[in-house]
Amino acid sequence: MASNQRSRAQRKAAPASSPSGGPPWVLIGGIAAVVVVAAVVLYPTEPAGGVPGADGAVESAETAAETPSRPIIPTRAASPAHPSNVPLPALPLVPNMVPRAPEVIRAAYTFAAHNPDVLEYVPCFCGCESAGHTGNADCFVKGRNADGTVAEWEEHGMACLVCIDVARDAMQLHASGGSVQDIRSAVVGKFGSRSQLQTPTPEPPSQ
């Protein structure tokens, strides 16, 4: 009797057998494979090192972080020019002037007063964007009246070699018939290769 009871207990504790007589490992392995395939299909992983762009290319996160961003300055109309029949105010006196002839400095201020439609679209490269300048014109003219007359000169241009040289190049190109876009491109090509600094200057209106 005891022997029969032990035999029945051993049969109950034994694992269920497959139809072939062994444990159902094949069935368990098949279920696991189905679960893995479903996880891959439903939850695909992103490529390592970046995220896919709109065109399928992968952009490195480090490269995106290193790309400097420039403020977007919308195109705007230029300020009115100082009337040609109105005398200009006297230039400011700055003790430490740059090594440029007085007539060169005077010509730069005069050109800025009468040609905001040129210099307001030409960048400067001396770092004056930290003072709120948005173009080379701001290096010479600090404020204008409603009719365009110069209300106040900017002293910064009296002592900055870069400001004067940018204005001088723009003035020479303008005199030779260059368009505002051509002048801007030439100045950026020349001075932009020498300095990492550049004012956030708006593009000139399309002609």
- Would residue 177 count as lying in a domain? yes
Point out the residues of the chain with pLDDT beneath 70. 1-72, 207
116 assigned to some structural domain: yes
Tokens 């400095």 label which residue? 105
Identify the burial level of 112 via C-beta atoms within 10 angstroms of its C-beta, where 0-12 means exposed, 13-18 middle and 19 or more buried.
Answer: buried
User: How many CA atoms within 13 Å lie on the side-chain side of 145?
Assistant: 9
Considering the domain boundaries, does residue 76 fall inside one? no
pTM given for the model: 0.65
Neighbours of 202 (CB within 10 A): 18
Average pLDDT of the chain to the nearest whole number? 77
- Report yes or no on 153 lying in a domain: yes
Q: What's the rounded Cα separation, in Å, for the pair 27 and 76? A: 73
pLDDT digits (tens, 9 = 90+) for 135-176: 999 999 999 999 999 999 999 999 999 999 999 999 999 999
The answer to whether residue 200 sits within a structural domain is no
Structural domain boundaries, residue 183: 102-191
Question: 106 in a domain, yes or no?
Answer: yes
CB 16 within 8 A of CB 23: yes
Q: What is the pLDDT of residues 79-96, one digit of tens each?
A: 999 999 999 999 988 877
Domain count, the chain: 1
Which residue, among 97, 199, 95, 81, has the nearest Cα to 149 in the 3D structure?
81
Within-domain flag for 38: no
Q: Is residue 1 in some structural domain?
A: no
